[in-house]
Structure 1
């Protein structure tokens, strides 16, 4: 330490001090401001990026909530459409059953009427055939003029055997 004090030169000290001050002034004027400005810009850029990330996160949450809401609405609409389709299907089936019952009833009534007409026609034709047979038998009986009842019965039985009913 003594040697430092012995080698100390006030002129050199002042010169070094002046050089240091000039260097600090030059650094302050030309280097520190740009360095500080770039650090501030970088800090602002990082803060902006963080703000944008936060905004993007909030927007993603909003979009997710909108997607969930739209999905619920779509499901509700789908369920409503399916319910409506089931109701339409059930009503169509019920209408078809009712219409089929009505048509079946109409067909049965028509069949009954047709059967009744055919039955009446068959009875009428049978009566006609019986009447024709009766007249024919009566004519033959009258032609022969049979006196005995036994001969008349034989004749009627013989004619009945000859005649075949349709």
Structure 2
């Protein structure tokens, strides 16, 4: 027998053994292996789907965070604007009140000055009147001390009265 060329019996028995081995492998090994491969494929698909869901949720959270940040910035800007307006209003009101107080003080000062001016004028008039009366008394005493001068004075007054 030649060792390099197989005999017909050997080929037949090898074929039958191979077929029996295929049937046994198909029944006991291929189904569990294919089942395990299918389960593995399903778990990979599920993992990919879960990863997609997680990525989508992360994108949603990111967009929500950006939206919240925009709203917070807008609210901050609105609050700053309102604070600026309030500051300007307070400053404006303070200026207006200060102007009103200043005008009031100026008016009071003007009134006080006017009153003191009138009092000074009245006092000056009284002093001038007193001085005039004093001078007139002295002049009249001097003129009335002499009888001739008295008569002349009376005549000139009568002439003045008649003329008017």
Same fold (TM over 0.5): yes
Q: CA deviation at 1:48?
A: 0.6
- Following superposition of structure 1 onto structure 2, how do residues 26-45 of structure 1 map, counting pairs within 5 Å? 26-45=28-47
Specify which structure has the bigger relative contact order, considering alpha-carbon pairs within 8 angstroms and separated by 6 or more residues.
1
Any stretches of 5+ residues in structure 1 without a counterpart?
A: 147-166
TM-score in terms of structure 1 length: 0.67
TM superposition score normalised by structure 2: 0.67
Mapped partners of 1:36, 1:3: distance in 2: 42
Q: 1:115 to 1:4 in 2, by over 3 A?
A: farther
Question: How big is the alpha-carbon RMSD for the aligned residues of Structure 1 and Structure 2?
Answer: 3.2
C-alpha displacement at 1:25, in angstroms?
2.5
Residues 112-139 of structure 1: CA distance to partner in whole angstroms, max 9, x if unpaired?
1012112312332343345446656776
Relative to structure 1, is the Cα distance of residues 128 and 5 closer, same or farther in structure 2, using a 3 angstrom cutoff?
Answer: farther
Aligned pair partner of 1:74 in 59, 65, 76? 76
Figure out how many residues of one structure are paired with residues of the other and give that number: 144
- 1:67–1:5 distance in 2 versus 1, CA, 3 Å: farther
Unaligned runs of 5+ residues in structure 2 are 147-164
